A = this chain, B = another copy of it.
Amino acid sequence: MSDVINIKEKFNLFTDQWSPKRIGELNGQQILLAKIQGEFVFHKHDDEDELFLVIKGQLVLELRDRTVVLNKGEFFIVPKGVEHKPIAKEETHLLLFEPLSTKHTGDVMADITVETYESI
């Protein structure tokens, strides 16, 4: 049976960056937490929309035609098929909503790619 999930307590359970942790699952979707800093790689997910919610810090999402800046309490949905590159100057904490099938770096493989997410 489900438990009450405290988002801050879950963030205290890990320190590694660019390695999303699963904290919930419903309707074929997952809730992930991630700590990020620096630049990710440009990638896209052909079949999955992806929601980025900033819990702490600031996320810059580079798209091919524009750049989106997200502060605490703001989210953005990257539609399927849209290339995006997450960037954070300082360590930033994110909550992601996306289908369980979503691959970390989508259509590309990089040194940074995580193949299986840990549940915490």
Chain A positions near chain B (C-beta within 8 angstroms): 1-8, 24-27, 29, 31, 48-51, 68-70, 73-79, 97-99
The secondary structure that dominates the A interface is: strand
Q: Please, which residues of chain B bring their CB within 8 A of the CB of A2?
A: 76-79
A-B contacts besides A3-B76, A4-B69, A4-B76, 20 pairs, CB < 8 Å: A1-B79, A2-B77, A4-B68, A4-B74, A5-B75, A5-B76, A6-B74, A7-B74, A7-B75, A8-B73, A24-B75, A24-B77, A26-B49, A26-B50, A26-B51, A26-B77, A26-B79, A26-B98, A27-B29, A27-B98
In the complex, are the beta carbons of B51 and A24 less than 8 A apart? Answer: yes
In the complex, are the beta carbons of B4 and A27 less than 8 A apart? Answer: no
User: Which residue from chain B places its CB closest to the CB of A70 in the assembled complex?
Assistant: B4
Q: Please, which residues of chain B bring their CB within 8 A of the CB of A3?
A: 76
Q: What 5 A-B pairs come out closest when comparing CB atoms?
A: A26-B49, A2-B77, A6-B74, A26-B77, A7-B73
